[in-house]
Structure 1
Amino acid sequence: MSLASEAREAVRERPFLYDALRAGVVNYRAAADHLGLDGDPEAVATALRRFAAELDPATTRAVDVPVRMQSGVGLADDDTAVSPEDVVVSVGEERVVRGGEMTAIRASGGVDVAACGHVLGRLATASVVVDAAGVVAGDLVVVVPRRQGATALRIVEDALGSVPSAE
């Protein structure tokens, strides 16, 4: 495998670097050093420059959906007896139910996995603890500690306004 092919493969294993290449915000020599490939770092940096030139530039899209906050929820598994009307959302045996010390943030309609990933990244950057998250059929649910609910709501709303578009 050529050094350029190795560099491309290494970038694809690091989504943050792939996104940075698309955004044009990379110090190529530092990225080459970070990849630690066998070969001249300047050659790796050149390969990264060429790869970046071939990528579509980073763009964003807005996911315009209503976002709501529901306090007083908790997590329950299949062993916990819960009436069906208390289930907020369920995935497999795990359920988000009414009656707990957490907050659920729901974005309904048109949310995809890319938007979910962007939201989770933004929450992580803001040090918001995410106890559960998922997206199905266009709906996103993120469960956070109650004290972080308002912050999470603002971040989710803002993040959905600038979801990175796929290449």
Structure 2
Amino acid sequence: MSQIHVITTINGDETEFLCEAQETLLDVLRDHLDLTGSKEGCGTGDCGACSVIVDGRLVCACLMLAGEAEGRSVETIEGMADGDDLHPLQQKFLEMAALQCGVCTPGILVATKNLLERNPNPTEEEVRYWLAGNLCRCTGYDKIIRAVMDTAADMRGAA
């Protein structure tokens, strides 16, 4: 099979890679670019563990072909922190113990970051709706929802 040459921006850095036509963005992120934060939970877009932001839209990297990233901007969990400083969501998840095994956590963090970028003042119902595509088997969702709501309030207060 012939490989596809892709030039994209990942976490703010221009990135080039070669991939097979059938490889997903998740495959390339994990297997070629060593960005292993995004997880494959289901491979069918049902669990949200592989959530990334592409051109400002939340997508399941397991459902997007890597070749479709050509010319686009991709944000992964690895791009959330600013150097040694955690993103406010990451910090709040730690403080409030809103994570356990870590399989779903990267996808949930990326999804909630995307939510707060779109809506810095979400209601609890809106947070729950936004996270409907992210499955967590360990924590339940109460601590996750509380961490997102507290982060939104903190970020509004800092603005």
What TM-score, normalized to structure 2?
Answer: 0.29
- Give the structure with the larger strand fraction: 1
Higher-Rg member (1/2): 1
